Amino acid sequence: MGKFVIRKTNTGIKFDLKAGNGEVIATSEVYASEKACRGGIASVKRNAPVAAVEDQTVEGFAAAKHPKFEVYVDKAGEFRFRLKATNGQIIAVGEGYKAKASCLNGIESIKKNAPDAPVEEV
């Protein structure tokens, strides 16, 4: 079972979504308040299970409607994803993966873990 972990940073507050094994599978932006951070978590819980996957690594990819996971290749040549809410805002991002299959597995893990994940603070 996954969990959201809220933590303070030097510039604000953010969350990580961790899988059952403790691995971080998604991270948020830095929020100014805990209330805004908890709103971001609620948005991930609501949007992740229904989000389409838009694979921007293939030529002529079909644009998906929001909410969606965008899969892309970063400057280092690694596969990454970002989850965008219904309004187009980025609400969570993933780490870099060497293989696209691993990136897609990360997305599936979020879809599975996020809806019922408890929230804890560190």
Confidence at residue 84, expressed as pLDDT on a 0 to 100 scale = 97
pLDDT attached to residue 1: 82
Q: Which residue has the tokens 């604000």?
A: 12
In the CATH scheme, what is the code of domain 3-121? 2.30.29.80
Which segments in the chain show pLDDT lower than 70? none
How much is the pLDDT for 11?
96
pTM over 0.85: yes
Contact 18, 2 (CB under 8 A): yes
Predicted pLDDT at 8? 96
> Domain limits of the chain?
3-121
Taking the mean position of all CA atoms in its chain, how far away is CA 115?
12
Give the model's pLDDT for residue 122. Answer: 86
Q: State how far the Cα of 72 lies from the Cα of 27, in Å rounded to an integer.
A: 16
Q: Which DSSP string do the residues of 48-59 spell out, in sequence order?
A: GGG-EEEETTST
* Strand duo 90-93 + 79-84: pairing: antiparallel
